[in-house]
Structure 1
């Protein structure tokens, strides 16, 4: 088994990720990927496998944190279930296919993609820029197309769809708290299908490691999932007591820090 120090670190990471997942409707993968990548490399895993392992493990952890976050947001009636149902088929298809493709993409390319995505989200939030709200209502076809895009990008960056879903739903005139709650629900099918995809794509690569299943590190998953499930409900409660503008600032600051962290990882 891994040293107790690593288990304790995973537990702390889980608490942080769970709180942020509940607060902002995210799966928490955006935080886990750069941090787990660094941890796995420090443990002696080569850089290419470390990023893929971080992506797969993060998506697995998001299954638990997203479930806890959904329960908390649903209790506040901020999940728009028709929107979730419309996006789910596209999210599942896009997430699974992208997870399969990710194993054949160079880790540097994935890291750059992750950093640029986070930086773009941060810039959009800091500048308070948003596309002119659409006058067209949400349609089933539009939700499926958006779901495919969000699911594909999220599986490559393990961000649970939260960043993209909140922006898209805001464009469709949904208020920030409902967008956050709905985003939390969308993150669950992404996490499940993405995890399965990374387990399959990494099976032959990490099969000799007794503590991994494909690109999922089991000890890290169990420890992070345990504390993230507990912390997610507290984050969700806080989100309903904070003003919308403040939530957007937190959203932007976290995005920028994650982008910088991944760029430093590449240096």
Structure 2
């Protein structure tokens, strides 16, 4: 990689670490557009460039989420019972999504799918819709089913799952600070399952550049993680000092701009 590529990835890693700690998003989703820019600069195969960006972003969550988890756990804001209840379904869905579904989606459709879901999430967070007072989290079967959906969807989009789990938890009357902190706790099992699925599903795929482990581009992972693990605790500290409404709106606005970029990538992939 050239120096400019390294600087872009390190800078993005620092920003994604802050956002991972502050919003529980894992950071992988934020990185995808910038990695597409870097991978285009390196002239990677266009047919797999979005797949590589998504898979590489997810792999960074393995490290960033641990740093964010440690920071939130020290202040007791993670609901570990909820995290443990959702994890089995998340692992099952992540393995299936990463190994079976991910490679089946062409670049254009994957970009469009990515954009549509984050638009939905951004609207839900920005309007600050209040949940019904009596609504509660579902039982074990419901949480397993929801976890499976989150795991499969996250593996398709390279996201830590917060764009779905945070609105869901808030909808079930979990407070925003606890929801975003708990989303950090869920980021690690999502990343483990999806990363294993990516490697298995893309092993010996034609067109992969040197330094890749399946769709995961290891030099990019190293650059991003070198910064993100140090900035995630800063983001967690910022989250505790922010008003919950503002915290949700920061999340919503950030996702909206990300969606705009991915819609453009989808348009280019479809030749429009």
- Equivalent residue, structure 1, for 2:139: 139
Q: Is 1:177 paired with 2:177? A: yes
Match of 1:198 in 2: 198
State the distance in 1 between where 2:265 and 2:16 align: 19
**Conservation of the 8 A alpha-carbon contact between 1:207 and 1:213:** no
Question: Is 1:72–1:236's contact at 8 Å kept on the other side of the alignment?
Answer: yes
State how many pairs are aligned: 266
Structure 1 residue 139: Cα displacement: 2.1
How far apart, in 1, do the equivalents of 2:262 and 2:208 lie? 28
Which residue is equivalent to 1:168?
168
Counterpart contact for 2:122–2:255, Cα < 8 Å? yes
Tell me whether 1:19 sits opposite 2:4 in the alignment: no
Spell out the pairing of 1:78-97 with structure 2 (5 A cutoff): 78-97=77-96
Q: 126-135 or 14-23: which moved more?
A: 126-135
RMSD: 1.5
Measured in 1, the distance between the counterparts of 2:10 and 2:2 equals: 13
* Alignment-derived partner of residue 104 in structure 2: 104
Tell me how far 1:159 sits from its aligned partner. Answer: 1.6
After TM superposition, the score normalised by the length of structure 1 is 0.95
* Cα pair 1:133 1:171 within 8 Å, conserved: no
Q: Tell me the residue number matched to 2:270.
A: none
Which residue of structure 2 lines up, in the alignment, with residue 39 of structure 1?
Answer: 38
Within 2, Cα distance between the matches of 1:6 and 1:112? 25
Deviation digits for residues 72-122 of structure 1 (CA, Å, limit 9, x no counterpart):
111111100010000000000101111111112111111001100111111
CA–CA distance in structure 2, aligned partners of residues 79 and 57 of structure 1? 26
Which stretches in structure 1 are left out of the alignment for 5+ residues?
none
Answer whether contact 2:208 2:214 (CA < 8 A) is retained.
no
**TM-score, with normalisation over the residues of structure 2?**
0.93
Distance 2:80 2:97 in 1: 25
Aligned to 1:75: 74
C-alpha deviation, 1:7, in angstroms: 1.6
Query: Which residue of 1 is the match for residue 116 of structure 2?
Result: 116
